[in-house]
Every structure is written in structure tokens, then in C-alpha cells.
Structure 1
Amino acid sequence: MRRAVLLCVVLAVAMPVAAAGYTRAMRSHSGTAPGMAPAAEQADRIIVDKPARLMRLTRGDKVIRSYAISLGGAPTGHKIRAGDERTPEGLYRIDWRNAGSIAHLSMHISYPEPRDVAAAKARGDDPGGAIMIHGMLNGWGWIGGAHRLVDWTNGCIAVTNAEMREIWALVPDGTPIEIRGQDI
């Protein structure tokens, strides 16, 4: 129990401080990115169930992989502004990837879409951005699946480094991602 509390403190304090630079080019902690899986094995859709902390890769009607995930530090509800630590909800796509990110590999989710920008502008807010699927922050891979004990990202979707390598190979750019919250 004491280890779990210590891990939560480390994750809650150290990781958000380091998490601000997802798009900053940095040397990947564990080397080169994996190649893409054969097209017949690749996912054609990602479904994220925020309340269940579950991400599924699908091909047609079949789930080909499932992953337990961590989300933003304030996971309930749709992302509405920069710094709210919410993971967006709705339909997006994977639009680019970064093999040299501050986290072990990262794949960008197309938030904010024009609808998000318009809604934020109507409220007088900045919608935020740099929402990714990624592994652990470089140098923190030793935490492995224990990172799931707390939602620690700034709105991203986090998995272990090994899982991120698999996702990287199975998910091509352009893949739709549906992020479901309580009301979806």
C-alpha cells in the first residue's frame, strides 16, 4: 500500500511537470520506432472508453487489441480549454506521429477540430492541443503498468512502452478514433 501511495505521489508531481513538451523533438529513450504491421493486420478504428479506462483497436467488427489506459488528470467530460487536463471526447483521427517525442513514441489525435476551436472561441477560451496516444515519459518506462494507478497526463491517452510499440505498428495515420465519455 505504501508503494502505491508513493507511486501516486511521484506520478502526480513529476510527470505533469515533464509532460508539457510532447511535440518537442527529443531523442527517444528506447531507440527507433517499429515498422508498420502488414496492412491486413492493421487497425481501421480506435475506440476509447474513458469511464472504463480502455482502448480497443478494431478491424471491421473485430477487436484486434485492447489496452488499459491512463487519461488526463481531470478525465470527466470533454476537453474545453487548454490546461483543463481533460481528454477530448468525440470523433477524431490519428493525423501524425512523433518517434522522437518526450514520451516513448506518440501519435497525435486531431484535436482540436474546427468545431472545438469554434466552441472554445465562443467561450473566449483557447481549446488547447497536443493530445496524443503515447507511452511513458522517456526515462520512466520502468513504471510499466503501474502508471494506470492514477490519471496523470495533461489530456493524453497513455499506455506502457511495449503497448505503444505495438499500437505504433498497428495504427496507420488517418485512422479514426472515437473517444467515448459518460454521455457517448
Structure 2
Amino acid sequence: MRLIKVLMLVGAALAVSACSTKFRTYNGPEVTQVLVDKSSRRMYLLHHDRMLKQYPIQLGFQPAGHKQIEGDGRTPEGLYYIDKRNPNSRYHLSIGLSYPNEQDIARALAMGKSPGGDIFIHGGPPKGSNINGKQDWTWGCIAVTDRQIEHVYAMVKDGTPIVITP
């Protein structure tokens, strides 16, 4: 009976250790800039002028053009900064961009609208969502796979500049 209990405990410990965690560690070169190229749908993590990693991305459901107002489905363009992180995101993990900046706010207010906000780099769609292979499905965010956001989340620190080009 004691042997069975020991074997069950060992089995449970192995099962728990086999489960992957979404929080990874990174000890490589500092990511000094994130570059997002909307036209090629690629995101690059750079250490100065050296590329460390690159990922295919999905964008807002209206990918052409700079985000103007809340709900337009566009991904912003320009210089922003990583300014927050959400370990409990409904999109696995997410890191936030400093959108809107002063120019974004002024532009939207001139149209009598809100610029929106909550633009993130995040993982894939929640389980059970109705994305079904759509290339661009976010409301303006930058999406990678869940496994990829685990690496990005570990590598990219708050304050890192992100440049988003058309």
C-alpha cells in the first residue's frame, strides 16, 4: 500500500513538472527596440542593429493606415513604448503600448472622437473564439501565437521603444 502511495506521488510530481509554464526566463542580449512592419506582417526584436528574433504577426482587422479613432480596427503607426504588461490577459499574455500619444489624442479630438487605447502585443485568440484562420482579426493589437508571446513577454522590458511602420 505504501509503495502505491509513493508511486502516485512520484507520478503526480512528474505530471506537474511536465506542464509548461507561460512565464519564461531570458538571459540573452537586451532587446533595445521592437520593430513592427505591418506590410510584411513581421515583428523584429532587436539588440541595437542586430536582430535577435522575428515573428509573423496578425494585426487589426483594418490593417491599412494609422489608427485614428476607437473601434476603427487599425493598428497604430509610429513610435511608442512598452508601458505595461498583463500576465492574466484573455489572450494568454500581453504587453501594452503607450498608444495613444499626444498627437493621437489631438487628432481624434479634432474629429470629435476618442482615440481608443488598450493596444497590446498579445497571444492568440481565446479558445473557442470564432477567428477561423483570419489573417487580421484584432481590434488594433499585434498578435502572435501563445508560445511566441511567452518569449516576447520574457525578452521585452517595460520602456522598450516600439516602432510600427506601414
TM class by shorter chain equals 0.7 to 0.9
RMSD: 2.1
Deviation per residue, 1:56-109 (Å, 9 max, x gap): 000011000000000000000000000000000000010000000111101001
CA contact 2:24–2:151 (8 Å) conserved in 1: no
Partner of residue 26 from structure 2, selected from 16, 19, 37: 37
TM-score by length of 2: 0.82
Give the equivalent residue in structure 1 for 2:3: none
Where 1:58 maps in the other structure, the secondary structure is: strand
> Which residue of structure 2 aligns with residue 112 of structure 1?
100
| 1:172 Cα offset (Å) | 0.5
The match for 1:179 is 164
Partner of 1:73: 61
Match status 1:166 vs 2:151: yes
Q: Which runs of 5+ in 1 are unaligned?
A: 1-29
Structure 1: distance between partners of 2:22 and 2:30:
16
Q: Which amino acid aligns with 2:135?
A: V
- CA distance in 1: counterparts of 2:156 and 2:145, whole angstroms: 16
CA spacing shift, 1:152–1:45, aligned 2, 3 Å: same
1:152 to 137, 142, 147: 137
Overall identity of the aligned pairs, in %: 45
SS in 1 for 2:43: strand
CA contact (8 A) 2:74 2:139 kept: yes
Instruction: Assess, with a 3 A threshold, how the Cα gap between structure 1 residues 140 and 56 changes in structure 2: closer, same or farther.
Output: farther
> Partner of 1:16 in structure 2?
none
Q: Counting helix residues as a fraction of each chain, which structure ranks higher? A: 1
User: Quick check: 1:33–1:165 contact (8 Å CA) kept in 2?
Assistant: yes
Deviation at 1:31, TM superposition (A): 7.8
Residues of 2 paired with 1:162 and 1:154: CA distance? 21
Question: What TM-score, normalized to structure 1?
Answer: 0.74
Q: CA deviation at 1:125?
A: 1.2
Change (3 A) 1:80 1:31: farther
Aligned equivalents of 1:121, 1:69: Cα separation in 2: 30
- Equivalent position SS for 1:167: helix
| Aligned CA distance change for structure 1 residues 60 and 105 (closer, same or farther; 3 Å) | same
Amino acid at match of 1:172: K
- 1:52 paired to 2:37: no
Q: What letter matches 1:138 in structure 2?
A: P
Structure 2 residue runs of 5 or longer lacking an equivalent are: 1-18
Give the conservation status (yes or no) of the 8 Å contact 1:32–1:99: no
8 Å Cα contact 1:78-1:89 kept in structure 2: yes
